[in-house]
Amino acid sequence: MIGANDVINPAARYDKTSPIYGMPILDADKAANIIIVKRSLKPGFAGIDNEIYYNPKSYMFFGDAKGAISKLVEAVKAQ
């Protein structure tokens, strides 16, 4: 996921008190591994924290999208 905030927040599915409850989201939390590329941990448009950032399957990769993805591709190629 690149720069995704609210659109991958699992709280939209179950937390009726959340401002994003009922919003359609991508089921990123159901993936075997989750790589999240963001500039920071700042909340998205809804202004709430995203629990997927703390999922044990999640890996945070901080940086701008173009630079971060280039580095990620280089690292995978080096394997």
Flag whether 19 is in a domain.
Answer: yes
Q: Long-range contacts made by residues 68-75, C-beta under 8 angstroms, separation at least 24?
A: 68/2, 68/37, 69/2, 69/37, 72/35, 72/37
Active-site residues, by number, are 6
Flag whether 25 is in a domain.
Answer: yes
Residue 51 DSSP one-character state = G
In total, how many domains does the chain have? Answer: 1
How confident is the model over 37-78, as pLDDT tens digits? Answer: 888 888 888 999 999 999 999 998 888 889 989 998 999 999
Q: Greater confidence, 8 or 1?
A: 8
Identify the domain containing residue 55 by its residue range: 6-78
